[in-house]
Amino acid sequence: MKIPQIEKMSREDIISYMRKCAKQYVPEWRYDEEQPDAGTALVSIFADMMYDNIKKFNMSAAGDLFSFFDGVNAGLLPASPAEGFVVFGLPEGYDGEAEVPFGTRLLAESEGEQLVFETQEEVLVRPMELEQIFLSDPGGDGIYELYNRRRDDVPSFFLFQNGEENLQRHLMFFCFGQEIAVSAYADAGLSLVPAGKGKHDSFWEALCDSSRIRFYYSVGEEEEYRMITDYTCQDGRLCFQIPGGPRGFGPAESLSSMYVIYAEILDADYFSGIYLQEVSLGTECLGQKPEFIHVNGTDQEIEEFLAFGEHPSVYDEFYIGSGEIFGRPGARVRVEFDLDFVRIPIEEIVSGVKIAWKRIMRKQEFVPEEEYDITIREVIWEYYNGFGWKRLPVSGQYGNIFTAGEGLKGVRRQMEFTCPPDISRVLVNSAENYCIRARIIRMNNAFKTKGAYVAPVAGNFSLSYSYMKTPLRPKTMIQQNNMELKEYGTEEMQKKGFAVPVCRARTEEQKTCYFGFGHPPAGGPLKMLFVMHDTLQNHLSGLKWEYLSAEGWQEMHPADSTEGFAHTGLISWYGRNDICRDSLFGENLFWLRLSGKAGRELTKTPENCPKIEGIYPNATIVLGIETVEEVFGLEPRMEEKKIHLSYGDISRLEVRVLGKTDYENGPGQNRELWTEVEELGPDSGSRKEYTADRRDGILTFPKYMEVSGRNEQDEIEIYVKYGYCRGEKGNVKAGEISRLDRTAGFINSVNNPLDAVCGLPGEGVMEAVGRNAGLLRHGRRCVSAEDYEDMAREAARDISMVKCFPGCDETGRYQPGAVTLVVLPGSYGEHCYSFERTRKKIYEYLSVRMDENIVNLGRFHIVMPELIRLDVKVVLELAQEKEIFAATKRVREELKRFLDPLHGNFYGDGWEIGTLPDKNQITHALKRVEGVKYISQLSLRKYRSGRFEEYEVNEERFLPFYRLPKSGFHEVVAEP
């Protein structure tokens, strides 16, 4: 209700009138507030005094109004306490706990003044650091790390929205020993044998599809993995070629220097249903040259050489060295070479035939000596086993490989054997390598002195090995699924019936958030503060909380003051002692998880999904009040029984009066609780009622208090416990509530992570007049749209503007029977938690004072208008060239004033919710600015606020229905 204004001039109007008069009486003088002279000072003093007189003159009409409301016992409302949250901390490394009961006093320093806050809920403070948060997306086979304490200051993420990097990897590592090493190249065949009889065709088809599974091999020098791109499926094997060399197949140091081939499974849905019962790798390398040839202590040319020298003899030997071929225990090795023979005559030496020498001899007396071919009859093939040279198992089969026979010139020899499992490297001459050797054990005509050595000539060697018929089993198989590693050793893989799934996909029914704690969240009550980015109308319903115990996941039922993460609030629960530490996502922590209940879809887009901007364990809610206890004594025969408390602005009040003597408990033990009422009646004494002026701290009791007892001084003893507040002073900034009033356990830190909000000063006289005038009209029952608006102001005094829209839903669309209250809070929505508290106050107050069908059908809505930023560009012509800066400044100030949602518009009474000024209105407002002669051009741009950024809106249909203007960034171009 507004008091009629007899005179409507403001201070600015008075100054404007004086400036107009000055132009006529003293045209050489100008009023300048930035560089004031004596005349400017005199005008300002006169304007202040005149405006003060006008206000007093206008208030003369309010006298009768005040007298009327005094007659109906209308009072002023007390100040409202500030609300906020605090977080308690314990010393680092302390494993104990501390209890913080209801009403614990906390202290804050603000503007040099000490303020008192009190906890409104008890909380058990214990080590409960939140270490990591993961999101599991079974539909997209994803795992996302949303928070890591070692990396992030506070959690900040969209609830149930995928993060930036999918950490889910389905990998199978097949780790082989040194026998699989490759120097040049190797043709490989990887055999993956699925268990069961079905799916074999589709399984091999899937293995050849690189979009469903990929294979990699380790590169030792770079400690990385390279993808196998060219492979085929033959005879139940994946066949491909592995390169050797420094950038080829090599050991992975991170996996015990084993040679690794791993599979990356991309199609988890298909492969999670397939089990492998056997994994093996066959390799072969064909046509390699020996690394060295050594004959009788001398290195030989590899292309062609005398196998045992020019004069082979018993125990002569030659060595073939190749780590690539012979260092393959269990492999089938093939040695091929060209063999030829060369005759090397024996040098003339003393003959072994006795001759009777004479001075003169006949020809027939000389006995000719027979010539012989000295050839190799048998060799033995050997290998080194680490202790000495040992015979190859096939040595007997190839013992005559160097035996010369008729027509054996220019032949191709071949030898095959299985590489012994105990073959070892050996030092031959100056080279250490895997070798085999051939040693002569028998010769033909070994001791003949006449004839020629038939020496074998070898060359064009081709060495090969193959594991294809005896493939190698991995020494270790490692699986990575869901960020966890599972290792299978040789013994386990050789057990009968062994089978392992190709991959393990997520098993949740829908997206699930996992919260990992370093210490067990057990006991209670435990509380966590969830700070939300903003308030959402469509909150998440049907959420399910669980904790991990030794028996698996167990459901828990916390109290959720966030109402499904619609706004900032506390999650409270009693932690069970059977919670246990377990490894999930590769982290050994204590786990809670959050998901939707079966059959409820949680999928939301980021535009309407809750965003968490902070999670604080060991938190509770506080109010900016201080509790005081006082005891009073009243004379029973007093006519007016009133008590004046020490403090006013009471927020919480409890009155107990000493009852009549109770002989069982004794005097003073029976204090009866009395009830506060608005007005006392004749029977109030028997009904134990009293009235309270909470603004001034005055309690009034009935004249006759028959049910009350007497204390030792024969007085009516009254015990009062109340909490008073400091109003808007309690709206302290984040971090200003910093200590306890007294020690509580080992708590060493207190902090409020958010600003305290909703603290309001006591009600003013004119506010009380308007409220009580509305009360006389609606009688606390909502019928008309004006009733809803008045009662909304009565429920929450921190409202700057409110308007009721009957027949509209929360978006402004037509909805029969709906009622929407559009509320602009005093903070303009700067604190989303502040608006949520305001909304709840209005809803709780009005829902019981309106048609219950509207409430039950969910058609009562309370929303905040959207502030549309208006950017104005104006080109104007000035009346005087000398006032460019001053005139443009006045234009900017007028734009800021005119577009203000509360005090803008032409008469300073603000804009009505749902309207925006257009270009014509802005043009008319600027024309009134002093110094503006003509506006040649004006453009207007509108920006709508998204959840995280503003964006331009060019069409009216894209603007919200509930809207208000706000001043933006303006460009003023002056043309003299």
State pLDDT tens for residues 734-762.
Answer: 999 999 988 888 999 999 999 898 888 88
Q: How far apart are CA 130 and CA 19, in angstroms?
A: 66
- Average pLDDT, stretch 758-783? 82
**To which residue do tokens 């070798």 refer?**
435
Rg (alpha carbons) of the chain, rounded to whole number: 49
Tokens of 783: 């019928």
The CA–CA distances, whole Å, from 13 to 18, 29, 57, 607 equal 9, 19, 17, 47
Q: What residue type is assigned to position 506 of the chain?
A: R
Residue 754 near residue 731 (C-beta atoms within 8 A): no
- Measure CA 161 to chain center: 9
- Measure CA 566 to chain center: 18
Q: How far apart are CA 80 and CA 695, in angstroms?
A: 10
Residue 805 phi/psi, 5-degree rounding, is -120, 95
Give the end-to-end CA distance of the chain in Å, rounded to a whole number.
47
**What is the CA angle 700-702-706, rounded to 5?**
140
**pLDDT tens string 815-841:** 999 999 999 987 665 555 667 788 888
The CA–CA distances, whole Å, from 72 to 76, 777, 781 equal 13, 14, 19
Residue 81 near residue 725 (C-beta atoms within 8 A): yes
Average pLDDT over the chain reads 86
Percent of the chain with pLDDT over 90: 39
Higher pLDDT: 965 or 949? It is: 965
pLDDT score for 663: 46
Higher pLDDT: 606 or 56? It is: 56
With bands split at pLDDT 50, 70 and 90, how would you rate the model's confidence at 10? confident
pLDDT score for 66: 65
CA nearest to 701, candidates 716, 712, 713: 716
Beta strand 372-384 with 431-444 is: antiparallel
- Average pLDDT, stretch 670-679? 88
Q: 270-274, 699-703, 929-933 — which one is most confidently predicted on average?
A: 699-703
With bands split at pLDDT 50, 70 and 90, how would you rate the model's confidence at 574? very high
Higher pLDDT: 560 or 763? It is: 560
- Average pLDDT, stretch 457-466? 93
Tokens of 857: 């059908």
Q: How far apart are CA 839 and CA 823, in angstroms?
A: 8
**pLDDT tens string 161-212:** 888 899 999 999 999 988 888 888 889 999 988 887 666 678 888 888 888 9
Residue 207 near residue 276 (C-beta atoms within 8 A): no
- Average pLDDT, stretch 619-630? 94
**pLDDT tens string 76-122:** 888 999 999 999 999 988 888 999 999 999 999 887 889 999 999 99
Q: 667-676, 769-778, 951-960 — which one is most confidently predicted on average?
A: 951-960
pLDDT score for 664: 47
Higher pLDDT: 488 or 64? It is: 488
The pLDDT of residue 690 is above 70: yes
With bands split at pLDDT 50, 70 and 90, how would you rate the model's confidence at 814? very high
Q: How far apart are CA 871 and CA 71, in angstroms?
A: 51
pLDDT score for 350: 46
Tokens of 912: 């009505």
pLDDT score for 105: 94
The pLDDT of residue 214 is above 80: yes
Least confident of 245-249, 278-282, 553-557: 245-249
- Average pLDDT, stretch 361-366? 68
Q: How far apart are CA 439 and CA 246, in angstroms?
A: 35
**pLDDT tens string 333-345:** 999 999 998 988 8
CA nearest to 425, candidates 465, 382, 381, 385: 385
Residue 192 near residue 279 (C-beta atoms within 8 A): yes
Q: DSSP label at 196?
A: S
Q: How far apart are CA 473 and CA 361, in angstroms?
A: 81
pLDDT score for 818: 92
| Full-model pTM | 0.78
pLDDT score for 236: 78
With bands split at pLDDT 50, 70 and 90, how would you rate the model's confidence at 707? confident
SS3 category, 377 = strand
With bands split at pLDDT 50, 70 and 90, how would you rate the model's confidence at 714? confident
The pLDDT of residue 527 is above 70: yes
Least confident of 318-327, 597-606, 814-823, 865-874: 597-606
Return the bridge partners of 135, or none: 144, 513
Tokens of 384: 């080194």
pLDDT score for 668: 45
pLDDT score for 661: 64
Residue 97 near residue 742 (C-beta atoms within 8 A): no
**What is the CA angle 759-760-763, rounded to 5?**
160
675, burial (CB in 10 Å: exposed 0-12, middle 13-18, buried 19+): exposed
Q: 37-41, 269-273, 539-543, 898-902 — which one is most confidently predicted on average?
A: 898-902
**To which residue do tokens 């220097």 refer?**
257
CA nearest to 383, candidates 348, 359, 418, 410: 418
Q: How far apart are CA 950 and CA 367, in angstroms?
A: 123
Residue 46 phi/psi, 5-degree rounding, is -65, -40
